[in-house]
């Protein structure tokens, strides 16, 4: 059976910093090597999207100015369909600015309150210092604890409400707010975090987890994700994790 998945890339011209576009490339390549056809749909301001036909979504990071340019379009044009899709288990990865805009609001350095989509029970307040550097978080993707590595660069401090669960525990780095030890939030099949780098090329196990979720959502439990080697990626990941954790 030939599988086809559709990925919506939200605002790629406005929300693409620190190599975030590499996440889409990683998803495409891991699909291609399995014979899965991944159609990438750029979502630009003013576009009309049938979210019921979308299996995966990616929302990258951006500067405050970039977020301000797309906030109205996100909420008013894409909001109803995207909210419904997320509640129907759309598989979504949101990084940094995209993560913030899925929450209730982002209060900037100037005190401006940018409204978010409100699908994640989080809110973000800009802090006085940037949280920059490599980060390692420990997550459970259903097969026991695993360590993911990334790079964070944000001044926004994101705080969780009761309707999300933490994505991972910070082993080194700052995480969502530099205080509670959590890195990212999960709601249904939506994952938000501050891990740039890009995240997915560095962490093929997460890439495969997202693809597997999307396949089962579209085609049912019989859609088994074929095993695919990732020796080089995982070796690089292990070296980076060991190097970072050795400091502490």
Per DSSP, 51 falls in state G
Asked about 196 being catalytic, the answer comes back as yes
- The candidate with the shortest Cα–Cα distance to 209, out of 231, 186, 232, 236, is 186
Residue 17 three-state SS = coil
17 vs 217: CA distance, rounded Å: 29
52 vs 12: CA distance, rounded Å: 20
What's the Cα-to-Cα distance from 106 to each of 30, 102, 110, 124, 158, rounded to whole Å? 33, 10, 11, 5, 9
Asked about 160 being catalytic, the answer comes back as no
48 vs 50: CA distance, rounded Å: 7
Which of 14, 96, 174, 209 is catalytic? The answer is: 96
Which of 154, 160, 174, 196 is catalytic? The answer is: 196
Q: Is 113 annotated as a binding residue?
A: no
- Rounded CA Rg of the chain: 17
Residue 43 three-state SS = strand
97: how many CB neighbours lie within 10 A of its CB? 29
Identify whether the C-beta of residue 206 lies closer than 8 Å to the C-beta of residue 141: yes
Tokens of 100: 């913030």
Does the bond joining 198 to the residue before it have cis omega, within 30 degrees of 0? yes
Which segments are annotated as binding site?
A: 130
Which segments are annotated as binding site for substrate?
A: 130
Q: Which residues are part of the catalytic machinery? A: 96, 196
């Amino acid at each position: 059976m030939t599988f086809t998945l559709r990925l919506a890339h939200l605002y790629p011209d406005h929300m693409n910093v620190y190599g975030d576009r590499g996440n889409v490339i990683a998803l495409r390549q891991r699909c291609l090597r399995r014979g899965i056809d991944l159609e990438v749909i750029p979502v630009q301001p003013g576009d009309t999207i049938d979210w019921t036909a979308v299996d995966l979504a990616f929302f990258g990071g951006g500067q405050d100015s970039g977020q301000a340019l797309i906030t109205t379009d996100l909420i008013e044009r894409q909001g109803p369909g995207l909210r419904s899709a997320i509640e129907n288990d759309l598989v979504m990865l949101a990084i940094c600015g995209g993560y913030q805009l899925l929450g209730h609001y982002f209060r900037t350095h100037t005190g401006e309150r940018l409204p978010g989509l409100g699908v994640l029970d989080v809110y973000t307040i800009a802090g006085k210092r940037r949280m920059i550097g490599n980060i390692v978080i420990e997550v459970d993707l259903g097969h026991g604890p695993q360590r993911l590595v990334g790079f964070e660069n944000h001044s926004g401090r994101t705080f969780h409400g009761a309707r999300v669960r933490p994505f991972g525990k910070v082993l080194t780095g700052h995480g969502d707010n530099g205080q509670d030890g959590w890195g990212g939030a999960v709601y249904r099949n939506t994952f938000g975090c501050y891990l740039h780098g890009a995240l997915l090329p560095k962490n093929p196990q997460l890439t495969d987890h997202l693809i597997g979720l999307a396949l089962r959502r579209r085609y049912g439990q019989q859609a088994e994700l074929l095993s695919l080697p990732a020796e080089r990626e995982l070796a690089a990941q292990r070296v980076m994790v060991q190097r970072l954790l050795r400091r502490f």
